[in-house]
Structures are given as C-alpha cells and as structure tokens.
C-alpha cells in the first residue's frame, strides 16, 4: 500500500511538472517578451521609425532635436520626471528618466506620443502612452 501511495504522489508530481513546462512553452510562444518595447533595442532609429507615417517621423525628429538642444519645449510638462511605473524600461531609480511630448497632428491635447530620455543619454519613443517603447539610440 505504501509503495502504491508513493507511486501516485510521484506520478502526480511529474504530471504537475509537465503541465508547468507546457504552460511555459506556450507562454514563450504566444505571449510577447516583457518588456515588449525593448525587443528591438539594437536597431537604429531610422530602422525603427520607417514603419511609421512621415508626419509621425517628423514629429519624433523635431522632439529629439529640441531635446538635444535643451529646449524650448512647447508643453509645460515637457522635461518632467517619468517614473516608469509600468516597468517597461529598465528600473534605474527615481529621477532617472524625463518625458517630452511628441506632437500629434489633430490632437486637442498632448496626445499619447512621448520621448523618454534617461540620464545616460538613452532615448526611447512610445506612441501608445507608455505601453510599448522603441529605443532610438
């Protein structure tokens, strides 16, 4: 009887281990890597931005140019701290990131597009208000 109980426990444990492995394999195949924004971080800005409309590319370029020049920026919140609450960018401590508005043609407000820069000079672009990022440099 004892041998049978141990065999059932072992079989049950193997079944659970197999189920976990299957779930991990499925997750790797169908779920995007986290954070999805950094998968393409090795690409150049030109390669990443070509899939966007010309208007969006120009707006990104204009904001990056202002950022590199130190302003002036069109919105009062430009240059404010980006806290990275979503955890989509590397966690590098309070005050590390700053955010800047990328103009959205026809938008009545700041829209969803932003440039986020880090203290070390890295620049990221999000077109969907911090859900996904593309590293520009």
Distance of alpha carbon 114 from alpha carbon 86, whole angstroms: 14
Give me the catalytic one of 81, 86, 99, 122. 99
Catalytic residue among 34, 55, 81, 129: 129
Is 99 an active-site residue?
yes
**Residue 103 among the catalytic residues:** no
- What is the Cα Rg of the chain in Å? 22
In whole angstroms, give the CA distance from residue 130 to residue 108: 19
The CA distance from 92 to 129, in Å, is: 20
Residues serving a catalytic function are 99, 129
């Amino acid at each position: 009887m004892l041998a049978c109980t141990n065999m059932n426990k072992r079989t049950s444990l193997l079944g659970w281990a197999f189920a976990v492995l299957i779930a991990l394999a499925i997750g790797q195949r169908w779920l995007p890597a986290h954070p999805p924004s950094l998968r393409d971080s090795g690409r150049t800005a030109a390669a990443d931005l070509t899939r966007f409309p010309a208007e969006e590319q120009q707006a990104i370029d204009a904001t990056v140019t202002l950022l590199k020049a130190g302003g002036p920026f069109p919105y009062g919140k430009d240059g404010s701290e980006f806290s990275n609450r979503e955890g989509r960018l590397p966690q590098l401590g309070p005050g590390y990131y700053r955010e800047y508005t990328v103009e959205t043609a026809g938008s009545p407000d700041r829209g969803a597009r932003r440039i986020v820069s880090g203290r070390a000079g890295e620049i990221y672009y999000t077109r969907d208000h911090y859900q996904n990022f593309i590293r520009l440099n």
